[in-house]
């Protein structure tokens, strides 16, 4: 079977990821480009007996060396690894989105042009003559809608045409535009063709005028000293990037002249955009949108959550069956307490991920996510992030796993990882169910002050974490806003949306299951004791108590702190078991399924009386801070690995939060000693 490699090139929001997912389905792999914090997506598909490999190149607005994404993209294209480059443009905003094509002009690789979102352009009353554009460009051009499966027949035919003819972009008219730039022709004459393989002299000369440092350094190495010195001298008195950009837009105007008919419309902000872009109400409107989306996520999540409850209901009958066949207790507990409870927990959390992916995928599909990014872009930029990062932060107040899953709307891999790292600092719904209860037991009315301090600590934690990880994950040149122009609102393509959601949910299920079963299995093994009151963790906790007391946690609280890394609700159950003489092993098992304590909060022998009799206020304060800012839970860990595709960075985040939570516990404990 013959093979060919396609590279997908396009600006953010051009529909490139939708096309990639539709072509490759589950036959895709996500990793990082060697030595870079940039996501690498590759996949494959088969059509008409031929196998195609697809490289989804990083989304960028141009091919200038302003970021790692842009350098990686152009290096891949000119490396010869791609047999053809598929360039995507947004038909609804053709003039702006063709800038990538103009910046590509001069790269010696076969290509064809997809005028994506043709359906959106049609809804706007635009008529585009693709044949007229094709004649001017000299490459295949096709109207297309990545969300419409009927469009793909034309795509495959155009792909085969581009491969068979090796079509290359006609740049004659663009070069005429460049001739008007002072210094261009002189620099171009000093750069022989094939000086740098894959790039024409025209393309290299314009990058010199744009002061592209990577290109300039390569020319310095490739040219003789005299030629390079001459180029540097001409460049000092030549016109620069503004003139080059003007020529590109003039060429774009010539390309689409006579090929695009549009109804004359008065350009104005709609009612919704006036709210989103309002200096007074914009941020509030975005926060309310995300919170309503979070609430709405629970509706499609319910079926999978019920499946999780159904799986848990199997525990009793399976346990009885294993006892009836005289199965060994150790094996029986692995089946019931590890496998069944883990799958119950996975399905419950997976339901929420399905809901979040569906609802926020819908918001992105109709154009609202771009508004969210626009409104918070400056605010998030202070942390080295883009505006879309605010969505995972807000979702994390409900579930950190959902926040991690929500980060998939972020194009830049480094910003995605940093967003997840910061989202871990946001206490989730399970933490908020536990914090007020513990604070009320120990501090009464003072619980409000504890909660306020936790919120302030969260903000400080996020700022410090951005400083710690930001330098590695997000380079200064990557700290840019992602929105050049607000895309138009348009109707969702439900078929494409559901295919995407089901595909991502399936992928999440596979990866999360591996991690959760492994982690929960290890924790169960460490906590297991035939008597229910011992185990390896129990022994370790007792031995290292002199150390853990420095952080304000006797061994009982320290073991509960470890349980909080598996599930926040279960930490309280472990405390209750350890101080009341219950089964520590059972309590830890319940923690792994997300179950809390079954003890009464008040009254004789209640959780309140047990805690007040055994735990001091400084110790309680230390535990609250340690638990709150510890690893959120095991499914958040799995979701982080799923989205980052990096065991190394997932491990770094876990270690960092473990250390920081203990430091916060130490500070809280010693402040508590001064107060009480």
* pLDDT score at 591: 59
Taking 80 as the threshold, does the pLDDT of residue 183 lie above it? yes
* pLDDT score at 602: 47
Q: What's the pLDDT band for 32 if we cut at 50, 70, 90?
A: low
DSSP 398: T
Comparing C-alpha atoms, which of 224, 225, 205 is closest to residue 215? Answer: 205
Which of the listed ranges 34-43, 133-142, 381-390 does the model predict with the highest average pLDDT? 133-142
Q: What's the pLDDT band for 378 if we cut at 50, 70, 90?
A: confident
C-alpha distances in Å from residue 246, one per residue of 184, 239, 240, 422: 14, 11, 10, 40
Q: What's the pLDDT band for 592 if we cut at 50, 70, 90?
A: low
* pLDDT score at 479: 53
Q: What's the pLDDT band for 261 if we cut at 50, 70, 90?
A: confident
Please count the residues of the chain: 676
- Segment 406-456, tens digit of pLDDT: 887 787 788 899 999 999 999 988 888 888 888 988 998 889 999 999 999
Comparing C-alpha atoms, which of 375, 344, 296, 5 is closest to residue 163? Answer: 5
Taking 70 as the threshold, does the pLDDT of residue 509 lie above it? yes
315 burial (CB, 10 Å; 0-12 / 13-18 / 19+) is middle
Taking 60 as the threshold, does the pLDDT of residue 80 lie above it? yes
Mean pLDDT of 455-470: 94
Which of the listed ranges 351-355, 396-400, 463-467, 605-609 does the model predict with the highest average pLDDT? 463-467
Which positions make up the binding site? 10-17, 21-22, 24-25, 35-39, 56-59, 116-119, 145-147
Mean pLDDT of 602-627: 80
Give the CATH number of domain 172-262; options: 1.10.10, 1.20.1630, 1.10.287, 3.90.25: 1.10.287
SS3 sequence of 570-592: HHHHHHHHHHHCCCHHHHHHHHH
Q: What's the pLDDT band for 668 if we cut at 50, 70, 90?
A: very high
Exposure string over 526-542, b if 16+ CB within 10 A, otherwise e: ebbbeebeebebbeebe
- Segment 526-574, tens digit of pLDDT: 777 776 566 787 788 788 889 999 999 998 889 889 888 887 877 777 7
Which positions make up the binding site for Mg(2+)? 21-22, 24-25
Ordered alpha helix ranges (H), 239-281 = 241-256, 271-276
* pLDDT score at 486: 65
**How far apart are alpha carbons 501 and 306 in whole angstroms?**
19
| Backbone φ, ψ for residue 450 (5° rounding) | -60, -45
Question: What is residue 600's three-state secondary structure?
Answer: coil
* pLDDT score at 621: 94
C-alpha distances in Å from residue 147, one per residue of 87, 152, 187: 17, 10, 44
The CATH homologous superfamily to which domain 4-169 belongs is P-loop containing nucleotide triphosphate hydrolases (3.40.50.300)
Per the prediction, the chain carries an average pLDDT of 84
Q: What's the pLDDT band for 272 if we cut at 50, 70, 90?
A: confident
CB of 66 within 8 A of CB of 103?
Answer: no
Q: What's the pLDDT band for 35 if we cut at 50, 70, 90?
A: low
Name the residue ranges covered by the structural domains of the chain: 4-169, 172-262, 280-478, 532-675
* pLDDT score at 157: 92
CB of 660 within 8 A of CB of 426?
Answer: no
Taking 60 as the threshold, does the pLDDT of residue 337 lie above it? yes
Distance of CA 359 to the CA centre of its chain: 16
**How far apart are alpha carbons 554 and 526 in whole angstroms?**
19
Q: Which of 66-80, 301-315, 427-441, 593-607 has the lowest mean pLDDT?
A: 593-607
Position with higher pLDDT, 258 vs 599: 258
Question: What is residue 8's three-state secondary structure?
Answer: strand
Percent of the chain with pLDDT over 90: 30
Taking 80 as the threshold, does the pLDDT of residue 577 lie above it? no
Position with higher pLDDT, 663 vs 374: 663
Helix H or strand E segment including 560 = helix 555-564
Mean pLDDT of 591-608: 53
DSSP 13: T
Q: What's the pLDDT band for 600 if we cut at 50, 70, 90?
A: very low
Which positions make up the binding site for GTP? 10-17, 35-39, 56-59, 116-119, 145-147
Which of the listed ranges 56-60, 381-385, 396-400, 664-668 does the model predict with the highest average pLDDT? 664-668
| Backbone φ, ψ for residue 317 (5° rounding) | -60, -40
Residue 509, C-beta contacts closer than 8 angstroms, at least 6 positions apart:
346, 350
C-alpha distances in Å from residue 608, one per residue of 108, 454, 580, 669: 73, 22, 11, 20
Q: What's the pLDDT band for 482 if we cut at 50, 70, 90?
A: very low
Residue 263, C-beta contacts closer than 8 angstroms, at least 6 positions apart:
124, 125, 126
CB of 475 within 8 A of CB of 435?
Answer: no
């Amino acid at each position: 079977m013959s093979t060919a490699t396609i590279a997908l090139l396009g600006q953010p929001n051009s529909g490139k990821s939708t096309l990639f997912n539709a072509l490759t389905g589950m036959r895709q792999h996500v990793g990082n480009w060697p030595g870079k914090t940039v996501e690498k997506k590759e996949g494959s598909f088969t059509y008409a007996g031929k196998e195609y490999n697809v490289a989804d190149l990083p989304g960028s607005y141009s091919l200038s060396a302003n970021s790692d994404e842009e350098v990686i993209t152009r290096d891949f294209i000119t490396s010869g690894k791609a047999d053809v480059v598929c360039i995507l443009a947004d038909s609804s905003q053709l003039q702006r989105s063709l800038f990538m094509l103009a910046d590509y002009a001069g790269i010696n690789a076969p290509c064809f042009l997809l005028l994506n979102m043709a359906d959106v352009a049609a809804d706007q009353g635009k008529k585009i003559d693709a044949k007229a554009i094709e004649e001017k460009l000299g490459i295949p051009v096709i109207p297309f809608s990545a969300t419409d499966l009927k469009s793909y027949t034309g795509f495959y035919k155009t792909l085969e045409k581009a491969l068979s003819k090796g079509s290359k972009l006609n740049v004659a008219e663009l070069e005429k535009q460049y001739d008007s730039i002072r210094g261009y022709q002189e620099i171009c004459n000093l750069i022989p063709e094939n000086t740098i393989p894959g790039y024409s002299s025209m393309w290299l000369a314009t990058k010199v005028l744009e002061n592209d440092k990577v290109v300039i350094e390569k020319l310095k190495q490739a040219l003789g000293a005299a030629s390079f010195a001459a180029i540097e001298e001409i460049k000092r008195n030549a016109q620069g990037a503004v003139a080059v950009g003007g020529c590109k837009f003039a060429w774009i105007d010539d390309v689409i002249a006579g090929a695009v008919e549009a109804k004359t419309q008065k350009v104005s902000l709609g009612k919704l955009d006036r709210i989103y872009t309002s200096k007074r109400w914009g941020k509030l409107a975005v926060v309310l949108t995300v919170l309503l989306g979070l609430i709405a996520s629970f509706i499609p999540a319910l079926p999978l959550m019920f499946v999780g409850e159904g799986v848990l209901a199997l525990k009793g009958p399976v346990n009885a069956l294993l006892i009836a066949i005289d199965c060994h207790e150790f094996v029986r507990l692995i089946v019931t307490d590890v496998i069944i409870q883990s799958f119950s927990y996975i399905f419950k959390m997976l339901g929420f991920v399905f809901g979040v992916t569906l609802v926020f995928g819908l918001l992105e599909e109709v154009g609202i996510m771009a508004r969210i990014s626009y409104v918070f872009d400056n605010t998030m930029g202070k942390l080295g992030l883009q505006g879309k990062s605010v969505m995972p932060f807000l979702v994390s107040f409900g579930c950190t796993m959902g926040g991690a899953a929500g980060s998939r709307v972020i194009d830049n891999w480094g910003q995605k990882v940093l967003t997840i790292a910061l989202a871990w600092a946001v206490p989730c719904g399970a933490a908020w169910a536990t914090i007020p209860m513990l604070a009320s037991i120990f501090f009464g009315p003072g619980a409000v002050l504890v909660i306020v301090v936790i919120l302030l600590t969260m903000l400080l934690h996020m700022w410090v974490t951005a400083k710690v990880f930001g330098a590695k994950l997000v380079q200064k040149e990557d700290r840019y806003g992602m929105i050049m122009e607000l895309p138009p609102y348009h109707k969702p393509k439900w078929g494409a949306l559901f295919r995407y959601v089901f595909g991502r949910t399936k992928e999440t299920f596979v990866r999360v299951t591996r991690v959760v079963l492994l982690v929960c299995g290890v924790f169960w093994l460490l906590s297991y004791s035939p008597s229910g009151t011992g185990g390896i963790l129990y022994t370790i906790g007792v031995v290292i108590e002199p150390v853990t007391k420095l952080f304000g946690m006797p061994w009982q609280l320290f073991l509960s702190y470890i349980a909080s890394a598996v599930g926040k609700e279960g930490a309280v159950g472990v405390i209750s078991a350890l101080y009341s003489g219950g089964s520590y092993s059972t309590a830890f098992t319940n923690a792994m399924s997300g179950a809390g304590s079954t003890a009464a909060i008040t009254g004789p022998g209640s959780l309140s009386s047990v805690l007040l009799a055994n735990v001091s206020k400084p110790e309680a304060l230390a535990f609250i801070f340690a638990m709150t800012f510890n690893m959120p839970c095991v499914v958040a860990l799995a979701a982080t690995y799923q989205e980052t595709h990096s065991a190394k960075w997932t491990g770094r985040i876990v270690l960092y939060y473990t250390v920081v939570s203990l430091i916060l516990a130490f500070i809280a404990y010693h402040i508590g000693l001064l107060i009480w």
